[in-house]
Structure 1
């Protein structure tokens, strides 16, 4: 429609449309409470202002005011959510321990997700800092993309990441579309220093489109395919698209079946759900959501021997306190008390501020007749300051008081 309008009208309409989008987008951005996104917007605005003014004096003043604004925002962001800041610092400290262990090759794709909680448990087990233990939680995000690349791909990953950053920053826009594409990528880079854009599918899609637009303006830098290989290139790409589409359709069908099984499990017998889930094992062996639901259904049906075999997949893909508490309950159910105790302690060291693992230990000690240790844990749980008091915490405290009585507990 705009192609039939005069250039002056197109320019006016484009400005009006841009202002309208900003009016509606800025309140929505504030309501996200995402400080990393706010910081990304600030950097992009400053970059555009620097590009807008050719005077070196004005550019210096923009940089000075920006530096002061960053200091102010840094203080504001800290006091806005201080717990979040301390939590990220803890995550980065644990992540550096992971990098020290495998600095060259890394832990491989998804290595952070599969290994971080184990390292956090080991780190907090040897630390006396109450602050770190209070801010720790089940976490599978690094909140810093350069660190994630180093954890998963080692030194080669860091070099590749620096190369991507250099390619984006050195790109010279030739119009509004290419400038917008560059700003999208720069925003994602800034956001990635404090958050996890690689785990947000819409952001990945938008970044892919933006980088495709940037590549479209760099055709002279691309390697040209000789005419005789052009047809083979098309066949190869089409084959990849067809195969990937088929695999996606198959996986979508498996997820839909899994959802139906979970929905039916509330009313059907667990045996039927377990039989249906066992048929999905081969197709969903690397899907953590599958193993989480599978293990929970096995726990509800008290099939502990089978659960201990299957929960190894959950440990491999997505370890957390829930994993080891469920494993400890299964070990306790088959009479392996020593292994159950170790599993509960592993869950506790991962997130010391949570009380469920220690609650399970108190019940285990009480069952074994180790009353003094059980009483010590119960006293600790009932008298300490709770990070988040919810229904689960209420049930834990109520059950402990019913089992051990109120008169034994005192504040240290």
Structure 2
């Protein structure tokens, strides 16, 4: 709605004409009516999916506790999902069976990109973000190109608003749109600097040109190789999942082992691999893979599979610890069903 209002106002100047030709009373009425409509809309949206809204509010509440423990440098890039569930378990451990447990679940994202960025990067990352936003708003373009600025900023504003309640930065098409919009602003900026302006530097050494060409070629080749390895890895991972669903655990484990070098730092993959190892009663390997998975992701699935693996190894104390942690992550969701 905000981005649409900006584009309509830029094209037709409805609001600017209204404010220019209206007295103070009409302006006040419009402002109050707008606030009332927005407020009523938000209230209605909240109650339309109340559990979902309450779940997000609870996630934000727990997320602020993570931020308090690592305010300067954060928990590190892309490490939110490795830390959050432990804090959720600690919250229920301290506060007991609160009503918030009814909306608790396995959580990968903070459902607020700004908050998740702050948690992962801390104040240090906040400084870089502030500098980036400052440079963004200082873009200076010719008057004839102002419409492209309006389009770019309205698109970025829409994504920024979406980022307050969801996880657009985890969605590839939205990332591509952001890059394109930022590219528009960069190209149109009259104050941009050209680091390599070939026209003004006709005597660039041949050695330098050859070096750039070789490095560029190597980069392209390596990039294509990596993309192909990812493609084959995802195909092998999917085959492993299909075999697992049909009970072909040996075949699934063979495919998981093939894909492991590609996804050895991918929490979801390690969770699937470790679970399959535990089901296949390869408990020693399962513990190793599941402990690796916890470095990148933590869910009740990992904890229960870890408990099963430790139980299979007859390490009952460790199994009990894993099971208990799985229960405390979701608190009364389990106990209420049991009762």
CA contact (8 A) 1:106 1:151 kept: yes
1:185 equivalent in structure 2: 156
Give unmatched runs, 5+ long, in structure 1.
1-41, 359-379, 384-412
Q: What TM-score, normalized by structure 2, do the two folds share?
A: 0.84
- The one of 259, 264, 268 aligned to 1:285: 264
- The one of 299, 309, 315 aligned to 1:330: 309
1:4-403 alignment runs, 5 A limit: 42-51=1-10, 52-53=13-14, 54-55=16-17, 56-57=19-20, 60=27, 63-128=31-96, 130-171=98-139, 174-226=145-197, 227=201, 228=204, 231=209, 236=215, 239-265=218-244, 269-355=248-334, 381-383=337-339
Secondary structure class of the residue paired with 1:283: helix
Aligned equivalents of 2:114, 2:71: Cα separation in 1: 13
- CA-based RMSD: 2.7
Give the 3 Å change call, closer, same or farther, for CA 178–234 of structure 1 in structure 2.
Answer: farther
* Deviation of the 1:283 alpha carbon: 2.7
Secondary structure class of the residue paired with 1:297: helix
Higher relative contact order (CA 8 A, sep 6+): 2
Give the 3 Å change call, closer, same or farther, for CA 294–112 of structure 1 in structure 2.
Answer: same
* Deviation of the 1:327 alpha carbon: 0.8
Secondary structure class of the residue paired with 1:106: coil
Aligned equivalents of 1:171, 1:150: Cα separation in 2: 25
Q: What TM-score, normalized by structure 1, do the two folds share?
A: 0.70
* Deviation of the 1:171 alpha carbon: 4.4
* Deviation of the 1:305 alpha carbon: 1.8
Aligned equivalents of 2:258, 2:166: Cα separation in 1: 37
Give unmatched runs, 5+ long, in structure 2.
none
Secondary structure class of the residue paired with 1:156: helix
Q: 1:180-222 deviations in whole A, cap 9, x for unaligned? A: 2221111111111111111111111111111111111114233
Aligned equivalents of 1:143, 1:274: Cα separation in 2: 33
Give the 3 Å change call, closer, same or farther, for CA 88–333 of structure 1 in structure 2.
Answer: same
Aligned equivalents of 1:90, 1:324: Cα separation in 2: 22
CA contact (8 A) 1:168 1:185 kept: no
Secondary structure class of the residue paired with 1:211: helix
Give the 3 Å change call, closer, same or farther, for CA 320–204 of structure 1 in structure 2.
Answer: same
Q: 1:21-55 deviations in whole A, cap 9, x for unaligned? A: xxxxxxxxxxxxxxxxxxxxx21133335542444
* Deviation of the 1:101 alpha carbon: 0.8
Give the 3 Å change call, closer, same or farther, for CA 118–246 of structure 1 in structure 2.
Answer: same
Kindly tell me the number of residue pairs found equivalent between the two proteins: 319
